[in-house]
Structure 1
């Protein structure tokens, strides 16, 4: 019987897949705490500037900036080293003052759902939102430019939806450029928030090549050999990610005698005790309901073959791009957010979101799939990740930011690669 891991088992889990490989071939240095990071460490992507390029590096405050998630470093991984994301560790009212001194031509806003409407007191939320938006407005009046990346349709955890919506509506008219990851997100911002079409820029989510292990190791790894088909669920056990759907499908497949393994790794919550007990009772499931250490991300993906993502409300998903980075085709609902962000061949694995048996049928078909076909889908996923490598997306993000910094309006939606 599968079970949630105790401490010794978790320690053994963390020891799986250790090793050191060669450096990635493209021009990055992977450093952490001043030392080179090999497999098993989250690599701090630092772009090595082309020595032929003499332009100074533009530091762009990211509000907020997160160290734990490599997304922002990957988004700024311009091969010429023209831009760098930095944390703004001061009060927002100092943005306009810094711009007047000749600094901060561009500020980059992320995750507005983590900024507005997060407290239990709606009146305090409104006052805070008004103050923060006022500081951004004065920064723009001083000549600064505001770039805004849209990550979510709505907050993962809605507390004060009214304040969030009011702030997002203001930002939609205030931002000089609005970055979205796919066409469906651009349509959402136009239709739901009246964002001006000429300010919308479609730039895909970067892949994670080079973030958790050297790129050359990721791209050279073949389809992992396994006696049974191996599926992976990875990430927080949030309800909208379809964990209950996975539990039901896995139970039915196991009862019907289908041979497979399903690794479920990610942070779970105390309120999910009954769900976790159901998952643990399935002998086909390997359960690790805790945050996966950064050094174990690559080994987890390396030993699995397909990625389960039955999220019917997905808007932008870093975990889907993470799966593609490691060559795992994605099984999920046929919704615009997945259709637009998956390789063409992978779309055959998507199921009708209205079908109650869609997920179980897709998993059954994957179990019966020939390894040669799965290897073909894997190669397509890796090629897709190369097309969206940090150096590719970072170059285009640098072009957009420098256009803003030069004071030119960033007209025309940028299309995805």
Structure 2
């Protein structure tokens, strides 16, 4: 039997789903937020919230911040390295179970109904409503939103995101001796050259390190060896590794539909992952903020036309992803050159820092590359 009717059902209680629920509830919309795992749940993720993403949230994340990063140690092929510092915070390090729970609780306080441990198995979209079936329930709404990650059940049943470009990351929580842990105080590590088109990372989490590696899907067989190489490069081989898990990193190309009839997609489900860094939280949150007013207007007009949301993503987010794709190609072909440029040019280093803080964009960096802008455009094809 069909249970209570909602205006909107959101599948996935990550940053995108929780933010959308909050934004819609503030507008008086009845929202059901479904999460397949028991909350709060561990999520394989580096757990770096850029200052840009944190500012976008409009929420104090200090209670869940494990470390504030102001410097980066960059290593190339395990033998060349440099460390640079910035005078302002760059990234707030969190554990995703704590961070996501903060956002879910904000949504609940705004009036969102949350049901955890309940995965969406399939959806059926009709002219008037959407039915979402779980293992034990059939739920109904006027609109359904897929914020359920790279392997979105909502996207699958709506026929969206087929053939999306995929990367893959592998990450673990690693306990190390105190004298090694203190070396990463306010410092994150990036390890280049181990995987073509990818990189390794070391993120400090106060009492341990999150260490991982990521790259294009074609490099998936090299992830484990690349992970071991990162541990060796950063002198962290003696650490105690737990929760080693992998996850997909989907990257949308402009023109791929992220809405259809009474359905739309957010965040990773929509492929809104930075193709250079693999970071997806900022675009997840921002996509939710773009979707909320569109959904609200559609509900008021009793119209299922959600194309305005896709248009907004194409205007605001896709130029950044397209420009990042060009830089990712440059990095894939010339990682040593990229390492040397950042090492030797403080102006470029500061531009990277401003990018993390939201004071610079990929598009603005691209525009400053004139007269090489045409070559840059070729890299994005």
TM-score, normalising length: structure 2: 0.31
TM-score, normalising length: structure 1: 0.29
More strand per residue? 2
